[in-house]
């Protein structure tokens, strides 16, 4: 059974960089059929796709966040990561990592999710 | 950007009854639509993909329909565990941009 687990600081100061890691177990991050994504959800609000990364380093980012987002993969550790720079209080949210299915070049749904981690931006 | 609009925002239904949730896309997404269920304190769970295909392990009482811009999630006979928030998500964009609806809260009547 595939499992994903987010890790990282729960509190980040304004203007600093948010850094999260997702560890994948029960399957390989190097599968050709999947990207690996990050989705966030401000408390009590809806879902926002942040970006997705392929194990070979191909990345797709939400245009509204693109200037601040960097995603990468560490295949030996079976992990992928998110960095979001210059954070403000508006970046306070639950951050989820998820497996993003690739339908032959067109990414689709998210079929496995981590439990999520709350990141608060505050001084 | 394709905007997804769900209705109603809140739906009150009695256990055992049918629930019908709607999702509308601002432009056609073909059948590139998924539905998710989210319970309090939990991550979303994939229910439906390709507008009408149930994900692994999802009970048959959940069904999806529609194509183009209009989609429906139907829960045929509500169980207590079905009361949750439901989100639709489109994946028809190029360049890639994956957007979710704002959610429908399904609550007990």
Query: In 10 A of CB A16, how many CB atoms?
Result: 14
What stretch of H or E contains B98?
A: none
| A49 vs B contacts (CB less than 8 Å) | 97-100
Surface of B (36-95) touching A: CB under 8 A? 36, 42-46, 49, 55, 87, 89, 91-92, 94-95
pLDDT tens digits for A37-87? Answer: 999 999 999 999 999 999 999 999 999 999 999 999 999 999 999 999 999
Q: Residue A66: helix, strand or coil by DSSP?
A: helix
Q: Residue B43, CB half-sphere, CA atoms under 13 Å: how many?
A: 23
| A116 vs B contacts (CB less than 8 Å) | 43
Query: In 10 A of CB A74, how many CB atoms?
Result: 13
CA A100 to chain centroid, in Å, comes to 11
pLDDT tens digits for B23-72? Answer: 999 999 999 999 999 999 999 999 999 999 999 999 999 999 999 999 99
The chain-wide mean pLDDT, for chain B, equals 96
CA distance A109 to B98: 9
pLDDT tens digits for A99-111? Answer: 999 988 789 999 9
Q: What is the reported pLDDT for A103?
A: 87
């Amino acid at each position: 059974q595939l499992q994903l687990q987010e890790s990282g600081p729960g509190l980040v100061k304004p203007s600093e960089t948010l850094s999260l890691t997702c560890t994948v177990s029960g399957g390989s991050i190097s599968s050709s059929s999947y990207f690996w994504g990050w989705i966030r959800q401000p408390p009590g609000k809806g879902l926002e796709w942040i970006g997705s990364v392929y194990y070979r380093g191909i990345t797709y980012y939400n245009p509204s966040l693109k200037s601040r987002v960097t995603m990468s993969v560490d295949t030996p550790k079976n992990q992928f990561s998110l960095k979001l720079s210059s954070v403000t209080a508006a970046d306070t949210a639950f951050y989820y990592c998820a497996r993003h299915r690739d339908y032959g070049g067109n990414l689709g749904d998210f079929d496995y999710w981590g439990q999520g981690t709350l990141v608060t931006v505050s001084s | 950007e394709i905007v997804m609009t769900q209705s109603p925002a809140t739906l009150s239904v009695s256990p055992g009854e049918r629930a019908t949730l709607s999702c509308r896309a601002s432009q056609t997404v073909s059948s590139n639509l998924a539905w998710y269920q989210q319970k309090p304190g939990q991550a979303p769970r994939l229910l439906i993909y390709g507008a009408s295909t149930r994900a692994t392990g999802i009970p048959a009482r959940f069904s999806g329909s529609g194509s183009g811009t209009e989609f429906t999630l139907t829960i045929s006979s509500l169980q207590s565990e079905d009361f949750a928030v439901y989100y639709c998500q489109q994946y028809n964009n190029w360049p890639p941009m994956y957007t979710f609806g704002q959610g429908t809260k399904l609550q007990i009547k």
